[in-house]
Every structure is written in structure tokens, then in C-alpha cells.
Amino acid sequence: MQEHEQSPKFEPIDTQGLDAFGLYMHEVVKIPLLSYEQEYSLAEKVQAAKQASLELAAHQEAKGSLPEHYEELDRVILEGLDAREQMITANLRLVVAIVNRYRVPQDLKLDLIQEGNMGLAQAIEYYDPTYGNKFSTYAFWHIRQKVSRALKNIELIKLPHTIIDKKRKIFNATESLQADNLEPNDHTIAQYTNLPPEEVRRLRSIANTKTVSLNQLISESSSEIGDTVPDPNAGVMLDEALGNIWNDIIAPSVDLTDRERIVMEMLCGFNSYDASTLQSVGDYFGITRERVRQIKNVAIGKILKVYNNPEELAALFSDISERS
């Protein structure tokens, strides 16, 4: 009999002190993960159900009646619906892990999770397991897109248009300075945007994910996952997805030196490296912490020139810490 990895056991948790987000997490962590074989089989059933639905609809439109093998088509469709539900349920923790990468108030997280779950369902509809990619890697982009759009709508509702315009200028200035390997601070951004430094400082302090720079996200750990209910499986799923995106998409298409690539992989915790601080990476190479920061900034600049979407890259790299 084939042995399956067992999910970690969690100690009983007193749910009385948990808020709505904590209670949701309490339920999500109980859901077992899928093996790759289970994931592949369920995805095949979802795709088979889509084909059966199309065949059934086409026959009804052409003939005005049900086909002779209607019962078989109906069985395939029902199996696909059940498989879809299993895939959604088993990947809810991935949505939570992605939402927790954005620095947002706790009371907004459930709304963002709902949006992310819609992206998850969309990913399941289009995922083709025969391409060989893990589902978590494919689903990451659909979930992140839904969450980012929801955040943008929240921003448009909560902030006056004049502030939104100025914050976008600050965001663009920050990314341009980073691409030129310059340090984005209140004074350099003020010079770039022609805004007073005091106003730049005030606007940068407004908590808003859409205006957090790539370098800021790389410099600070924004994850609060597990503050209420621990779930190491969510981190494993997300780390695997991000590692695959780095290895399959970013690294092959950006002209990084070996040192730049290794520095980024060590800081991110990709390819069997433990997520490292600037200081520990410097110790590994025998260089200063500041020199590691410079190498990191050069690598980020190269990546930004190839991938002109800093918000997506920020979502990839937001767990890198600069603890000394």
C-alpha cells in the first residue's frame, strides 16, 4: 500500500478569542493537502466535465434532444463538479498565504480572500495538468490578479483622486530610481516628482499596497500568516509556486550574473537555500552587508527592465527580510 505524507498535527486552539479571520484560518488548516497525483487526477476530471458539457449542449442545440449516452455525460459532469470542489477546498490556504503578503488591515483580509477564492476557481477552470506545471504555480497569478484588482478598487473608494494621483507619481518615481540603482527616499522622490519632501513623507506613510515599492517589500517581511492559527502547509505551497516562477520564468529570461542570481535565491529562499538576511549572505560571500544590498538592487533593476510590472514582482519577493 502506498504511503501518503500526513499533515502536521496542531494543538487544540481556543477559538473564543479569535476574530472572523482567525476563525476562518482555524477551519482552513484542517483541510488536508492534495498529492501531485491526486491534483492531476482531479484536474483531468474537471477538464473532462467541461468537454462533456460542451458535447451535451451541442447535441441539444443540433438535435433538440438528449444524446443516447446522456447518462454517461451526466456522470462525467457530476464527477467534474465534485473534483472542482475538492481542488478549491484543498487550495484555500494558498489564497490565504497570498493575501497575507499584502500589508492590509486585518478587517479587509476576508474580503480579499473572497476575491482570491474567485481567482482560484477561475484557475481550476483553465488549468491543464498535461503541461506539467504544479497547480499552485498556475493558480498564483489568477489569485494575485483578483486580489490586486480588489485592492485597487478599495484604494479608489477610500482616497481622494488628488492623493491617488500623487501616490502613483511616488510609486513610479520609486521604481525608476531603483531601476537606476539609486536609493528612493523622501528627498530623491521629491526631486523626481516636484513634490515637497514633507508631502512625499506624508503620502508614503499612508498604508496602501498599491504604492509600496518593490524594494520596500523586499526589505520588510509583510506576512502576518499564523498570527492566530499556524499553518505551515500554506507556506510550503506558496514557496513552491514562487520557486517555480523564479526558475521557469524569471531567471532564464533575465541576464543576471551568477552572483546576482545566487544572492536573490538566498534572500528569497529559492532552490534549497534557506531564506537569508543581507548579513548572512554577506558572510557567505565574504562581503559587506551594504555590498549585498547593492547587488540585490542591481538584480532588481535588471528584472524590472524585463518585467515592466513591479507590482507583480513585489508579490513574488515580499518575504525577503533585511534583518541585520
Contact 224, 18 (CB under 8 A): no
CA 249/CA 135 separation, integer angstroms = 16
14-38 exposure pattern, b = at least 16 Cβ within 10 A, e = fewer: eeeeeeebeebbbebbebebbeeeb
Among 235, 225, 241, which residue's Cα sits nearest to residue 25?
Answer: 225
DSSP-assigned states of every residue in 248-285: IIIHHHS---HHHHHHHHHHHT-TTPPP--HHHHHHHH
Residues of 73-85 as b/e, b for ≥16 C-beta within 10 angstroms? Answer: beebbebbeebbe
- Dihedral (Cα; 41, 47, 50, 56), 10-degree rounding: -70
pLDDT score recorded for residue 36: 86
What is the DSSP code (8-state) at residue 68? Answer: T
Place of cell 518593490: 214
**pLDDT band per the 50, 70, 90 thresholds, residue 199:** confident
User: Contact at 8 Å (CB) between 184 and 219?
Assistant: no
pLDDT recorded at residue 47: 94
Determine the longest span between alpha carbons in the chain, in angstroms.
Answer: 76
pLDDT of residue 311: 57
Could you tell me which CATH number the domain at 17-157 has?
A: 1.20.120.1810
Residue 202's alpha-carbon distances to 39, 190, 194, 210, 233, in angstroms, are 47, 12, 15, 16, 38
Section 86-113 average pLDDT: 83
Predicted confidence band of residue 319 (pLDDT cuts 50, 70, 90): low
Question: What cell was used for 84?
Answer: 472542482
Higher pLDDT, 224 or 255: 255
- d(Cα 312, Cα 149) in Å, to the nearest integer? 12
Q: Residue 53: what pLDDT? A: 92
Range of lowest pLDDT (146-150, 185-189, 314-318): 314-318
**CA distances to 94, 177, 225, 263, 317 from 242, in Å:** 12, 26, 17, 16, 9
pLDDT at position 2 over 50: no
E strands, 64-179, are none
pTM over 0.85: no
pLDDT tens, position by position, 204-248:
776 443 333 334 333 333 333 334 444 555 556 677 777 777 877
Please give the CATH architecture assigned to the domain spanning 254-324: Orthogonal Bundle (1.10)
The residue ranges of every structural domain in the chain are 17-157, 167-207, 254-324
Per mean pLDDT, which range of 62-76, 135-149, 178-192, 205-219 is the poorest? Answer: 205-219
